[in-house]
Amino acid sequence: MKQFLAVLLLLMLPIWPAAAEYPTEEMHWPSLVNRAERGEAIAQFSVGYAALHGEGEQDPETALSWLERSAKQGYAPALLKMAELYASGSRVAQDRDKAADWYRQAAEQQVMAAQFSLAELLWHHQPNSQQKEEAQRCYRQAATQGVVAAMLRLAALLGQEDDAANSASESEQWYRKAAQAGSAEAKLALGYRYYNGYGSKKDLRTALDWYRQAAEAGHEEAQLQLAYMCYNGYGMPKNDRMALHWFTQAAEQGNSEAQLNLAGLYLRGQGTAINHFEAYVWFNLAATGEEVSELTKRAQAGRTQAARYLSREQQFEAQQSAGKRYFKQQRFGHSNMGRE
């Protein structure tokens, strides 16, 4: 008899946005189908999921019917899968209303992925006021269960509310919870809040600390903001050497603004010895944006200024060095075409 590695979801789906991992066990296929036909929701889901991926002995076209039979019994993974299919338009005509209905049924079972996904579906498709309220409620439910992405969404939404002292306070609480869970994005947001005095008194030292935490976690924008604070002496004594370090960290991730500022430091000899070669390299990288902007114009002008101190051979070598660094950034998934 043919053996099939059947997908049986025995555990609840993991916290969003991590991809679902489906525990498997060796299963006799005819027996699995027989159990599905007898009405076992787990078996129906397993047969449907396998058929969806062209596995087992079922036609992939039957996948939806098996998944729907399982979902109608309230089996959470099937509910979630049906919602995903309708939300994406995969194997079925896209239907956000049906997707929302399936997500709601899973969310009622406290499935964190469903709560978050329903909120995202509602919020990002021109919701009316009632749907906005439902989205915020779902974000809160998922956030309360520890979904960091939901904490960030909820904090941002609360921060947008107009009636705001209480909302601003709660917004900060959720950012802090996300930061405690390790979110660099939350740490950056807290840095912005204290830098601008939003929801609390402006506090540059506290802003500096949050920016540093996010920067040390590798967040490109936080590295840029921290570099500016070091350079300008905000929340700390002015420190060009530290500014050079953090501009370098962000520049190496492909941040054009950091590249422009780093080039300027090398050109002027701030935080380091004057280095026209490095200045040319970083100006050249900052100038590579496809669209002409004020930043690219400044980078091109800086490159011309640095070039006056280099021979043709040195300029050619600097261009090659810039190209190598650019392709290195691309390999690691970073773009040097400017920030969004």
pLDDT tens track of the chain, all 340 residues?
Answer: 333 333 333 323 333 444 455 443 456 788 889 999 999 999 999 999 998 888 877 777 789 999 999 999 999 999 999 999 999 998 899 999 999 999 999 999 999 999 999 999 999 888 888 999 999 999 999 999 999 999 999 999 998 865 556 678 899 999 999 999 999 999 999 999 999 998 778 999 999 999 999 999 999 999 999 999 999 999 999 999 999 999 999 999 999 999 999 999 999 999 999 999 999 999 999 998 777 899 999 999 999 999 999 999 999 999 999 999 998 888 766 444 333 3
Domains observed in the chain:
1-121+130-144 (1.25.40.10), 169-246 (1.25.40.10), 254-340 (no CATH)
Residues in the chain, total: 340
DSSP of 47-110: HHHHHHTT-TTS-GGGHHHHHHHHHTTT-HHHHHHHHHHHHHTSSS---HHHHHHHHHHHHTTT
Res 19: pLDDT: 44
Phi, psi (5° rounding) for residue 152? -65, -45
Distance linking the first and last C-alpha atoms of the chain: 56
What local confidence, expressed as pLDDT, does residue 339 receive?
39
Q: For residues 163 and 182, give the distance between their C-alpha atoms in angstroms, rounded to a whole number.
A: 29
- The whole-model pTM stands at 0.82
Tell me the Cα Rg of the chain.
26
What is the number of helices (H) and of strands (E) in the chain?
17, 2
- The secondary structure of residue 335, as a DSSP letter, is -
Residue pair 42/9 in contact (Cβ under 8 Å)? The answer is yes
pLDDT the model gives residue 236:
97
Residue among 31, 29, 24, 25 nearest 2 (CA): 29
Among 256, 254, 232, 252, residue whose Cα is nearest residue 242: 232
Buried b or exposed e, range 226-235, using 16+ CB within 10 angstroms:
bbbbbbeebb
Give the pLDDT confidence score for residue 7 in this predicted structure. Answer: 36
Q: Which amino acid is at 109?
A: Q
pLDDT of residue 66: 94
* Measured distance CA(163)–CA(167) in Å, rounded: 7
For residue 38, the Cα-to-chain-centroid distance in whole angstroms is 43
8 A C-beta contact, residue 318 and residue 281: yes
pLDDT at 164: 57
pLDDT of residue 38: 96
The reported pLDDT for the residue numbered 140 is: 96
Phi, psi of 8 (to 5 degrees): -120, 115
At 212 the pLDDT is 98
Q: Please tell me the predicted confidence (pLDDT) of residue 163.
A: 52
Give the C-alpha separation, 299 to 307, whole Å.
12
Range list of H helices, 108-254: 112-123, 129-144, 148-160, 165-180, 184-196, 204-216, 220-232, 240-252
